[in-house]
Amino acid sequence: MKGMSDMPMTNSAMLHDRLHATPRRVKTHIQEKTMKLITALFATLMLTLSVAHAADAPNKQQNKMAQCNKDAEGKKGDERKQFMSECLKNKKKTQQEKMASCNKEAEGKKGDERKKFMSECLKKDA
């Protein structure tokens, strides 16, 4: 008895094989396109999220840096470095430290101008 694989294929058998093989190729092609589309969408989503995350509002430390820079206006060199260092440490000054700092800044001011400056300076750190 001969096996089926030993028999030559007829035209109708070859046509039948082709018709049934084609959908498999088309199905694979559609699956590949779908997978590529999903991958591209995922990559786009990740890129969008990373850009959105980078553009978030400034955090607490950035706000603190901006405020310290604003307060350090007019100071130069070592005085500015020391001021920025103290400002960014984020620790509350004691009343004596506040008074000493404000007195140093108030040099050259007299009378009501000095009183007003000292009052605002001492409130600022409270």
- The per-residue b/e assignment along 40-61, b for 16 or more CB within 10 angstroms, e otherwise, is eeeeeeeeeeeeeeeeeeeeee
Kindly report the number of other CB atoms within 10 A of residue 91's CB atom. 8
Q: At 61, is the secondary structure helix, strand, or coil?
A: helix
Higher pLDDT pick, 25 / 68:
68
Please write the tens of the pLDDT for every residue from 17-41.
Answer: 666 665 566 678 888 889 999 999 9
pLDDT-above-90 percentage for the chain: 13
Domain boundary assignment for the chain: 11-54, 57-90, 92-126
- pLDDT, the chain, mean: 79
CB 87 within 8 A of CB 72: yes
Query: 38-42, 52-56, 70-74, 100-104 — which is least confidently predicted?
Result: 52-56
Q: What is the pLDDT of residue 40?
A: 92
The pTM of the whole model exceeds 0.75 = no
The secondary structure of 85-113 as a DSSP string is: HHHHHTPPPPHHHHHHHHHHHTTT--HHH
Whether residue 116 has pLDDT greater than 60: yes
- The Cα–Cα gap between 89 and 34 comes to 54
Higher pLDDT pick, 51 / 126:
51
- Closest of 97, 102, 100 to residue 121, by C-alpha: 102
- Closest of 109, 63, 97, 114 to residue 83, by C-alpha: 97
Whether residue 64 has pLDDT greater than 90: no
Higher pLDDT pick, 46 / 90:
46
Q: What is the pLDDT of residue 37?
A: 92
Query: What letter would DSSP give residue 7?
Result: S
